[in-house]
Structure formats: structure tokens, C-alpha cells
Structure 1
């Protein structure tokens, strides 16, 4: 029972971080139609941004988080404005290749600036064990689940009730219709990238706190792809279900079977589900008539 509870907590915390990163992926895809292969690197940038503001610049924690969020939002806007906007209307393969190149560039810049070894910063979340049902559960992992749930809830409220969130949903549903009612599609594109970078920043900060801040954060970000495909490329609720499913699957396989197979287990699960539901669990089925 103790092992099961620990694996569940670890799986839910990993899945919550994956859901945050996958949320940005889905936002970009829904609003712009771009499949962003640099989302894992945005997670990496998030982890190092807090290190930069908190450790290097020695800002107070709250101010460091606020400045880090501002940097992440600015980065998202710059990427959309300078890299992706000139490619509007181009071949989708060209856009995908650009995001792959962007991922390599961001990874290289991090390694040039901070090196290839993990960097050390003070822990933000307490890691004292919590006893529950005879098991000792890590407090920092429990707090990650709570924080991620709150952040995802705030994003959901933003999309549902705020003027900018409704505009972003309108652009995602029909760009031409959004233009006719005065919504700036280009501004919505910039907002989607800014929110994607912000969600990745939060995920990267949490991941760096419970593991380590190193270039390997980008490797964890690769699991974003099975998450979004499993949940559905255009489904925000699907990112939550997909993230938790992938996180739990990887940790259960690692704990009860083989840690090596846990690296490919999520992809095997993805293939099995896609054989039954090609558009993912929550994806919108598209039927084209010619």
C-alpha cells in the first residue's frame, strides 16, 4: 500500500507538470494551427529563468517569480512576432521544421549560458514527509499537485469568463468569424504564445524544484507529445487527463516492473489508444468531404 501511494503521488505530480506544459502546446495549436516542437524547451527556459532571477540576480522570491513570468511572456511574444508570424500561410512542414530549429536554438543558448551540468538553487517547496495510511509521502510532490491544479483552474476561468480568453477561443474556433466581429487575430496569436510560455515557466519551476534544474528538463518535456495526442490536440481538458494518465503510467511501470521500459511505456499506451480513438480521448473528430 505504501509503494502504491508513493507511486501515485509521484505520478500525479509528474502528470500535473506535463499538463501545464501540454496546455501551452494546445493553446498554440488551437489558435495558430502550429505544432510547436519547442514546447519542451520552453519548460527548460522556465526552470532556468527562476534560477537567473532568484540565484544570479538575488531577487526576493516573489519578485523573482514576477520578473521570471514577465520574461517568459516577453519571450513568447518575441517568438511569435519574429519567428512564426512571417511564416503565416507557408507550408506546414516548413513551420514544423522552424519550431524544431527553435528548440535546438533555445537548448543551445541555455547550455552556452549555464553549462551542461545541473545548477543549484534553494528549494522553494518544503520536502518534509507527510504520513498518510502508513506511508510517508513527499510534501513537495503534494504541493506540486495542488499548485498545478490551482494554475490550471485559473487558466480555465480565464478562457471561460475573461474578454481576452473568449476572444482567444473565438479565434481558435473560426478566425474569419473572429475578424468580422473586430477581434485581432494577430493579437490572439501573440497572447497564445505568451500564455504557452507562462504555463511552461510554471511547469519548469515546479519540475526544477522537485528534481533538478538542468538541460534534462527538456527531455522530460518530450512527454508533452504523447500527452497532447492522447488527450486530443485541440482539447484543453484532454491535456489534464492525458498528463495525469502519462504520469501515472510511467511511474507505475517504473515502480512495479522496469524503470527502462517506463521510458517507452507512455508511447506504447499512446499507440494502443490511438488504434481505438485516432483523434485522442477528447479530440474533435474532423470529417472532410471532397
Structure 2
């Protein structure tokens, strides 16, 4: 029984890492209805920029601040050069724009910092920690605590501040928000900047776990089942979806893997997401689309 709980809790903690990437998608989708396929490239760019600056002798917090400034600059450029000209275009047009943007950001990262693999050390021990007879990763516990702080901060931002209220108004009805004087461009810029910060945090944690390399951008693919299960418009849903995916894939690998075969952890989340699409297309916390004809 202790082994079961060890696998379960380890999976829940691993799912938090998926949630950190999914939150970036949710922020942008809530504000503009755009599925930002470039979020994975933003995670890669942030991690690669930070580790390159840090390896060149820049102190940790200064490298963090410079990287954050770069992510904010990217957010402002994306809003001005990509989103603003494509206002009122079809969702598929916006999606293709972010797909192209993804390759542009990856190319910029390679041009600036090269394509070599970097190790990233955050000073967090990954040795197992025994709690009540269950061995847990200290790194995963740190990542879970980071996600909890991040979600709490974002929840307060979007529920207690003027910008948050404006974001909720834009998400509910963009035309009505424009009519009462809310500037869509400003809201989009703020949201993309916050998504850039989330991408930086996720990039540092994933870079420390997997190494900073270009395959890091593919972590976006693991966030897709998280979004499908939790819902594209809920930050809390991204966390719950990540927990479900993390726990289910670990349990399936341990208990079903010997029967079905190895590699179950790689594709089981997508089977689970497909089942959710069939039963509850909007996800657990997503908003159901209502069309009036």
C-alpha cells in the first residue's frame, strides 16, 4: 500500500510540472480566445536565455530579471505585430499565426544562444525525502510549492485588481468591454507578459529536470491533455488536469505496463483526453459554448 501511495503522490507532483505549462495557454486563451501554440517555444526561449546568461557569469537574480524583461519584450512585440493586425480573424488564422510564431521564437533562440545542450542547476536537491514511509522527490515538492504560489498570485491578480476585472470582462464579451472603454490591446499585452513570466518559471523547472535543449519546446504536447481535461479557460482546471494526467500516467505505467507493454506513460494521457472529449468536450472546468441561432 505504501508503494501505491508513493507512485500516486509522485504522479501528482509530476502533474504539477505539466500544469505550469498549461497555465500559460489558459491565460492567453481567456483573454483573446487564441490557442497559443508558441507557449512551448516561449518556455524554451526563457530557459535558454537564462542559462546562457548565467553561464556567462551573470548572477542568478540578475539573469532572471534580464530574462523576464526579454519575455515581456517578446509579449509586447507579439501583441503589436501579430495579434493587433489579426483582430476579428478566424480562430484557425490566429492558431496558424502562433504556429509560425513558435518557429520564429525557436529560430531566434538558436541564433542568439546556439543549439548546444545546457545543464541547469537551481540548487534544489533531487534526493528522495522520506515522509511517513513514502519517498518523495524534493525537487517535485519544490515545483508543487512554486505552482501553488503562482496559482494563488494569479487568482488574486485576476479577481482583486482592476486589470483582472478587465480581463474577465474581455473574456466574457470583447465588444461590450470595448464599449465601456477597456483597451483590448493593453489587456492582451499584460496577459502575454504574464504568460511570458509563467513560461520563464516553467522553463527553469523543466530545464533543471530535463536539461535545456530544443526538445524542451515539445513539453507543450504534454500540456494538451491537461487542457482538454481541465478546460481551456480555467487556471484551477489546469492544475486539476495536470494532477489527473500525472497520477494516471504513473499508475498506468506501473500497474498496466506489465500487461499491455512498455511506454504506456507516453500515450495513456492522450487516450484519457480522448475519452474526456467524447464525454465532456469543454473539460471539467471549461465554459460550454452556447450558440444562439
Q: TM-score, normalised by structure 2?
A: 0.91
Q: Which residue of 1 aligns with 2:15?
A: 15
Q: Which residue of 1 aligns with 2:95?
A: 96
Q: Which residue of 1 aligns with 2:36?
A: 36
Q: Which residue of 1 aligns with 2:211?
A: 212
Q: Which residue of 2 aligns with 1:273?
A: 276
> Over residues 20-66 of structure 1, what are the superposed CA-to-partner deviations in whole Å (9 max), with x where a residue is unaligned?
2212211211211111111111221222132133223x222222222
Q: 1:11: Cα distance to partner?
A: 2.3
CA separation in 2, counterparts of 1:59 and 1:266? 39
> Over residues 229-278 of structure 1, what are the superposed CA-to-partner deviations in whole Å (9 max), with x where a residue is unaligned?
22112222211111111222222233332551211111100111121112
Give the 3-state SS of the residue equivalent to 2:72 in structure 1: helix
Q: 1:2: Cα distance to partner?
A: 5.3
CA separation in 1, counterparts of 2:63 and 2:115? 23
Residue 257 (structure 2) pairs with residue 264 (structure 1)? no
- Aligned pairs (5 A) from 1:215-254: 215-254=214-253
Structure 1 window deviating more from structure 2 (104-113 vs 147-156): it is 104-113
Q: Which residue of 2 aligns with 1:52?
A: 52
Q: 1:8: Cα distance to partner?
A: 3.4
State whether residues 40 and 219 of structure 2, in contact with CA within 8 Å, keep that contact through their aligned partners in structure 1: yes
State whether residues 46 and 201 of structure 1, in contact with CA within 8 Å, keep that contact through their aligned partners in structure 2: yes
CA separation in 2, counterparts of 1:76 and 1:124? 29
State whether residues 16 and 145 of structure 1, in contact with CA within 8 Å, keep that contact through their aligned partners in structure 2: yes
Q: 1:115: Cα distance to partner?
A: 4.2
Give the 3-state SS of the residue equivalent to 2:12 in structure 1: helix
State whether residues 226 and 245 of structure 2, in contact with CA within 8 Å, keep that contact through their aligned partners in structure 1: yes
State whether residues 207 and 216 of structure 2, in contact with CA within 8 Å, keep that contact through their aligned partners in structure 1: yes
Give the 3-state SS of the residue equivalent to 1:130 in structure 2: strand
> Over residues 162-204 of structure 1, what are the superposed CA-to-partner deviations in whole Å (9 max), with x where a residue is unaligned?
1211111111112222223322111001111111111111111
Give the 3-state SS of the residue equivalent to 1:222 in structure 2: helix
Q: Gapped runs of 5+ residues in structure 2?
A: none
Give the 3-state SS of the residue equivalent to 1:28 in structure 2: helix
Residue 150 (structure 2) pairs with residue 151 (structure 1)? yes
Q: 1:281: Cα distance to partner?
A: 1.1
**Aligned-residue CA RMSD in angstroms?**
2.0
The number of residues matched between the two structures is 289
Q: Which residue of 2 aligns with 1:163?
A: 162
